[in-house]
Amino acid sequence: MAGWIIAVALAGAALGGGVPDKPAPLPPYGAAYTPTTVDERGLWQQADEAERDLRDSPVVVRDAALNAYMAKVLCRSVGEDRCRGVRIYVVRAPVFNASMMPNGMMVVYTGALLRLRDEAELAAVLGHEFGHFEQRHTLASFRRGRTIGDIIAWTSMISPYSTLPASLIQLHFAYDRAQESEADMMGLRYLTAAGYRPFAASHIWERLMAEQDATALGRKRHVTHRYAAGFFADHPTHLSRAIDLRAAAGSEGDRGDDALDAFQTAMRPWRAGFLADQIKLNDFGGSEYLLAELANGAWTPELLLTRGELYRERGNPRDLVSAAQFYQQAIDQGCTDPVAWRGLGLSLLRGQQVAAGRAALKTYLEKAPAASDRAAMAMLIGEGGVQ
């Protein structure tokens, strides 16, 4: 449905005329902005305090290689002169989000990194956030005043991750529709100027719509509201953003670099952990869609293992049969993670396949002799059942 709506809307946009054939050139770069008014200095001080708190927070991923890669992509995207004043913090949270503060602090959630396909899409996200920074949107939102809608929208997104510093949560201000659209277009300009594939920006929003629909269907809700702004009517919908970005990319939107290999190399050490975080969201429909999207028809041992965990966590009788199959497929394809045998054993035991379940759990303990749940698994092997 999402793809059909986008196709129809894009056809209308093309027939309407007036859409530029390519993004406008980047504006001249100005030196890093220095706050001058009382309001500005207060906002900068709040941002500095939030950054100090975040810098010491356990939710920050401190891997040197990953952070160097993120900085490299940002500098290619917006230029060496622009990126010098930005500090990127990768935060361990399985939701699609990124934000930019007026003092140059950029926060990117690992849920976003999991959902991006290639470096071009990462550049689109980073460029969008830098667009907010260059246009000083946070200052404008600060002057406009935070509304109850801002607070509801933000806290509902991050409430499962209460380890985020309170100072960072309190500093968040929602951007209005015009600001989001301006940042989208700025990000597209950066993307094009850096030689990345312009359509990467619109592809992100197209997939996010489909994932949100899958989440809604999995929770037995209607999906049509995903294409309308609804209560927060001043915020652009995913559909409008996808359409506007695709139209603005012009006739050469599918040309350019995606740097897929570099992106996959940078994310490979982290993807298993990001996938494990995703399962904890208790979002069966959205997670199943995301896994299928990442597999793209080629299920790797890593994705099969995660799919087994997803089905076992839901735990319906038929889910346990499917979970056992996914774990076994992962093992047959060369999976070496002991968790595969643990999940297989637990699924088989709950499905009343006692002998096979015990054997799988025994293999798990052989492969993970220092496992933290060793005593519990040994008890299950001895008693042959799960309560």
Q: HEC string of the chain?
A: CHHHHHHHHHHHHHHHCCCCCCCCCCCCCCCCCCCCCHHHHHHHHHHHHHHHHHHCCCCEECCHHHHHHHHHHHHHHHCHHHHCCCEEEEECCCCCCEEECCCCEEEEEHHHHHHCCCHHHHHHHHHHHHHHHHCCHHHHHHHHCCCHHHHHHHHHHHCCCCCCCHHHHHHCCCCCHHHHHHHHHHHHHHHHHCCECCCHHHHHHHHHHHHHHHHHHHCCCCCHHHHCCCCCCCCCCHHHHHHHHHHHHHHHCCCCECCHHHHHHHHHHHHHHHHHHHHCCCCHHHHHHHHHHHHCCCCCHHHHHHHHHHHHHHCCHHHHHHHHHHHHHHHHCCCCCCHHHHHHHHHHHHCCCHHHHHHHHHHHHHHCCCCCCHHHHHHHHHHCCCC
Task: Label residue 136 by pLDDT band (50, 70, 90).
Answer: confident
- For the residues 363-374, what does the mean pLDDT come to? 96
What pLDDT score was predicted for residue 173?
56
Enumerate the β-bridge partners of residue 91. Answer: 60, 109
Which has the higher per-residue pLDDT, 173 or 15? 173
- Burial category of 346 from C-beta neighbours within 10 Å (exposed 0-12, middle 13-18, buried 19 and up): buried
Asked if residue 100 and residue 219 are part of one domain, the reply reads yes
Asked if residue 31 and residue 119 are part of one domain, the reply reads yes
What pLDDT score was predicted for residue 181?
84
pLDDT at 106 over 90: yes
Asked if residue 15 and residue 148 are part of one domain, the reply reads yes
In a domain, 81, yes or no: yes
What pLDDT score was predicted for residue 46?
83
pLDDT at 12 over 60: no
pLDDT at 152 over 70: no
Task: Label residue 336 by pLDDT band (50, 70, 90).
Answer: very high
Asked if residue 178 and residue 247 are part of one domain, the reply reads yes
Structural domain span for residue 324: 299-383
Q: Is the whole-model pTM more than 0.75?
A: yes
- For the residues 129-144, what does the mean pLDDT come to? 74
Asked if residue 36 and residue 180 are part of one domain, the reply reads yes
Determine which of 21-25, 44-48, 176-180, 229-233 has the lowest per-residue pLDDT on average: 229-233
Determine which of 15-24, 209-218, 299-308 has the lowest per-residue pLDDT on average: 15-24
What pLDDT score was predicted for residue 2?
43
pLDDT at 368 over 70: yes
Asked if residue 167 and residue 61 are part of one domain, the reply reads yes
Task: Label residue 74 by pLDDT band (50, 70, 90).
Answer: very high
State the CATH number of the domain containing residue 313: 1.25.40.10
In a domain, 198, yes or no: yes
Q: What's the CA dihedral at 270, 276, 282, 283 to 10 degrees? A: 50
Asked if residue 200 and residue 93 are part of one domain, the reply reads yes
- For the residues 124-136, what does the mean pLDDT come to? 88
- For the residues 204-217, what does the mean pLDDT come to? 88
Asked if residue 223 and residue 115 are part of one domain, the reply reads yes
- For the residues 300-306, what does the mean pLDDT come to? 97
Percent of the chain with pLDDT over 90: 51
In a domain, 87, yes or no: yes
In a domain, 97, yes or no: yes
Task: Label residue 228 by pLDDT band (50, 70, 90).
Answer: very low
Q: HEC string of 52-80?
A: HHHHCCCCEECCHHHHHHHHHHHHHHHCH
Task: Label residue 9 by pLDDT band (50, 70, 90).
Answer: very low
Asked if residue 353 and residue 227 are part of one domain, the reply reads no
What pLDDT score was predicted for residue 5?
33
Average pLDDT for the chain: 81
- For the residues 91-104, what does the mean pLDDT come to? 90
In a domain, 290, yes or no: no
Please check whether residue 280 is in contact with residue 105, taking contact to mean a CB–CB distance below 8 angstroms.
Answer: no
Q: Which of 252, 287, 307 is the last residue of a domain?
A: 252
Q: Which of 227, 252, 277 is the last residue of a domain?
A: 252
pLDDT at 156 over 50: no
In a domain, 280, yes or no: no
In a domain, 260, yes or no: no
- pLDDT, tens digit, for every residue of 244-295? 788 877 777 778 899 999 999 999 999 999 999 999 999 999 999 999 999 9
Q: Which of 191, 225, 252 is the last residue of a domain?
A: 252
Task: Label residue 40 by pLDDT band (50, 70, 90).
Answer: confident
- For the residues 129-135, what does the mean pLDDT come to? 86
Q: How many domains is the chain built from?
A: 2
In a domain, 90, yes or no: yes
